[in-house]
Amino acid sequence: MKSPTDEMTEFGLHDVRISVPEDVRPAAELLRDKVRDMANFRVAVCHDIAVGDPMADSDGNNLATDVFGWTNSENDSWWRTPRLALISPLPNACRYESEPFWCNEDGFRTNLPNPQLARISLEHLERRARMPAAIVVPVHLPYGQIGAASYCPSNRSQIDLAKEFETYGDILGLLTRTFVASYVRVMCRPKPLPVDTLLSKREVECLAWAAVGKTDQEISMILERSPATVRFHLHNAAVKLDSVNRSQTVFKAAQLGYIASLS
């Protein structure tokens, strides 16, 4: 039986893990080569779908062009279009799915059913996503950050990726998460959030109801406490989270994972 270390070595996880900025380029090159050797796929990877900054090596060189082989042509330069994260169904799907999936215009395919993806239109996928089919790996990171990688065939006429997904989907998931998570840890500034904050149970309850739009009066009725008590807990949470208003307090609490859905 193989040890976890042997399996990690076989999958190349150690090779794509970044420890210092100088590791970025060789790790990206190894990811590119491994994916090409496995399935002759191209790599399009983003460390944060909410920002337009492309991933870069320690010298500031764009990984998309310098390593992954994308060009500056209109059809290739996906990183030059910040609104692509808003119009492309691929990053949008990553907001609702955390495991690898594949898709073409005929639909999303996941290992486990996800009804929410059925609501996302794949019409004109190639025009909107710059690729006709892809295996996609979402990378959900701390503080609500989402990275993603799309793996598309070098042969653009190949749109059925069922076999490749079954064979390589889990491996691509491991490689992508290791590469993107370690890139963010080494190359990105830490989020300006307190790291030693512990909210009380009552503070979390008040924030959770505030997050769904309840007023202090409504929260007091739900929790059977006075409005003054509700305001006291919300104020304490704001102080702990170094927030300037109610909205920022709710936002920071959500980023830190204190607020769960009440629906």
Asked if residue 121 and residue 55 are part of one domain, the reply reads yes
Question: What is the count of structural domains for the chain?
Answer: 2
Q: What is the CATH number of the domain that holds 14?
A: 3.30.450.80
User: Higher pLDDT residue, 77 or 249?
Assistant: 249
Q: What is the mean pLDDT of residues 227-252?
A: 94
* pLDDT value of position 11: 62
Averaged pLDDT of the chain:
90
Confidence of residue 7 (pLDDT cuts 50, 70, 90): very low
Q: Which residue, 153, 187, 221, sits at the end of a domain?
A: 187
Classify residue 82: in a domain, yes or no: yes
pLDDT of residue 260: 73
Residues 205, 96 share a domain = no
Are 60 and 121 within one domain? yes
Q: Tell me, what's the pLDDT at 3?
A: 52
Coil, helix or strand at residue 121? coil
Residues of the chain above pLDDT 70, percent: 91
Whether 242 shows a pLDDT value over 80: the answer reads: yes
Domain containing 84: what range? 4-187
Return the residue matching tokens 């060009």.
71
Q: Are 182 and 234 contained in the same domain?
A: no
Same domain, 130 and 225: no
Assess whether pLDDT exceeds 70 at residue 1. no
Listed residues 131, 156, 187: the one ending a domain? 187
Q: In this structure, is residue 41 part of a structural domain?
A: yes
- Region 41-47 average pLDDT: 95
In this predicted structure, what is the pLDDT of residue 6?
Answer: 54
pLDDT of 229 strictly over 70 = yes
Give yes or no: residues 173 and 69 share one domain.
yes
What's the rounded mean pLDDT across residues 127-138?
93
**Over residues 133-137, mean pLDDT:** 97
pLDDT in tens, 49-98: 988 789 999 999 999 999 999 887 766 667 777 666 678 899 999 999 99
- Rounded to whole angstroms, what are the CA distances from 215 to 133, 185, 202, 210, 246? 46, 38, 16, 7, 11
What strand order describes the sheet that includes 146-153? 41-46, 146-153, 134-140, 101-104, 107-110
One domain for residues 178 and 215:
no
Sequence-distant (6+) residues with CB within 8 A of 74 are none
Q: Are residues 181 and 205 in the same domain?
A: no
- In this structure, the number of other CB atoms found within 10 A of the CB of residue 203 comes to 22
Asked, for residue 45, whether it belongs to a domain, the answer is yes
157 and 32 in a common domain: yes
User: Is 240 inside any structural domain?
Assistant: yes
Q: Are residues 232 and 168 in the same domain?
A: no
Same domain, 106 and 205: no
Tell me, what's the pLDDT at 263?
47
pLDDT in tens, 162-202: 999 999 999 999 999 999 999 999 999 887 777 778 899 99
